[in-house]
Amino acid sequence: MPLKSFYPNSPDIIITENQPLKQFSTLGTGGTAEYFAQPETISQLQELIISARNMPVYVIGGGSNIIIPDGLIHGLAISTRRLDAVSWQNESSAEIESGHNLSHLVKILREKNIGGLEFSAGIPGTIGGAVSGNAGAGGRGICEFIECVKAVDISGRLVTLRRGEFDYGYRMCSISGVIIASVIMSFTDCPAWNESLYSDFMSRRKSQPLRFRSAGCTFKNPPGNSAGKLLDECGCKGLTFGGASVSDMHANFIINSGHATSSDVLGLAEKCAHRVYECTGIKLELEIKTLSPCFSV
C-alpha cells in the first residue's frame, strides 16, 4: 500500500516512491529510498512520523558527514532541507529550524555583528545535523550555543530538551531517538563578530579538496593528535578502493572519483584505519556516519 494513503488529510505532503538519494548526499553515493518526503513545516514532519506507522524512519539534512547505504533503503527517508525558517526572539537569540543551512546562519551573524560562530566558517550542512554531531573546529562546538532543542519523538509529539538535559562533547551530542525540528540558540554572552578569526578558519578550508565530492573529514582526531597527519605519515594519500580515493590534498578526506559506491568509501576507510593502526597502534574512529533509522514507528 502506498504511504500516501496513510494520511488523506494532508494533501500538501508529497511522497516519492523509489527515490534515488545520491543527489541528497555531498558524497554523491547511496541507494534508493522506498519512500521519501520533504516536509515544509514542523507540523508536516509530525504528521509524517505519525503516518509512517511500522516503518524505519531516516533523516537527511544537508547530506554532509553521512554515508547513505547502497541498494534499497526500506522505510521512509525525510529530507529536512525545507525546514529552514529563522525567527529572532531578540537581538541575540533565535529559533532556527533544523534544515537551515549552517553557512547561511554564519552569514546572518556576520551581518548582525554577532560573534561566537566564527569557527563554523565553511562547515557544510544544516543546523540539525550540526547539533546532532556537535560540529565545530578549533576546540569549539555549536552545542555551546544551544538553549533548547525542539524535537519530534516516535509518537509524533513535539518535545523540548533544555540545556542540561543532554550532553555533548567532541563531535558528539547525546540527543537520540528523536528528530530535531528546531533549536533556540543564544549569543547573549558573545563578543562582536571577529572578522580576523573568521578569515583564519576560512583559510583552513583551502587545504581541503572542496572541488571534489566527499562527506567531509573521514576520521575524528585522536586525543592530542591529528587524523590527517597520521594518515599522511602512514602513506594513505592516493590510496584507492573501487571508485573512492584518499585526497592528495588532505589525507582525512575520501573523495568520490565519479563512480564510487558507499561500499567503496567504507572499504577505503577501513583500509586506511588498518594501515594507521599497523603503523602507530592508534585506532582511528570514523567521524562520518552511516545513515541509520532514527526509530521504527
Pairing verdict, β 240-241 and 244-246 = antiparallel
Paired residues of 90 in beta bridges:
93
Q: Which three cell numbers stand for residue 192?
A: 562582536
In a domain, 132, yes or no: yes
Same domain, 90 and 75: no
Same domain, 152 and 62: no
In a domain, 52, yes or no: yes
In a domain, 197, yes or no: no
pLDDT score at 9: 54
Residue 54 has pLDDT above 90, yes or no: no
pLDDT score at 205: 87
**pLDDT band at residue 12, thresholds of 50, 70 and 90?**
confident
Same domain, 71 and 102: no
Residue where one domain finishes, among candidates 82, 112, 130 = 82
In a domain, 279, yes or no: yes
Residue where one domain finishes, among candidates 186, 201, 236 = 186
Domains held by the chain: number = 3
Same domain, 166 and 216: no
What is the 3 state secondary structure string of 197-248? HHHHHHHHHHHCCCCCEEEEECECCCCCCCHHHHHHHCCCCCCEECCEEECC
Same domain, 76 and 100: no
In a domain, 199, yes or no: no
In percent, how much of the chain has pLDDT > 90? 89
Same domain, 67 and 118: no
In a domain, 276, yes or no: yes
Residue where one domain finishes, among candidates 82, 102, 122 = 82
In a domain, 39, yes or no: yes
Q: What share of the chain is helix, strand, coil (3-state, %, to 5)?
A: 25, 30, 45
**Residue 22's domain is classified under what CATH number?**
3.30.43.10
Could you give the CA distance from residue 45 to residue 57 in angstroms, rounded to a whole number?
Answer: 11
pLDDT score at 297: 54
| Domain span holding position 56 | 3-82
In a domain, 294, yes or no: no
- Give residue-wise pLDDT tens across range 101-148: 999 999 999 999 999 999 999 999 999 999 999 999 989 999 999 999
- Give residue-wise pLDDT tens across range 256-281: 988 999 999 999 999 999 999 999 99
**pLDDT band at residue 206, thresholds of 50, 70 and 90?**
confident
Cβ neighbours of 113 (radius 10 Å): 10
**Residue 151's domain is classified under what CATH number?**
3.30.465.10
Q: How far is CA 187 from CA 69, 134, 145, 191, 195, in A?
A: 37, 17, 7, 8, 17
Amino acid at 292: S
Handedness of CA 113, 117, 119, 120 (dihedral sign): negative
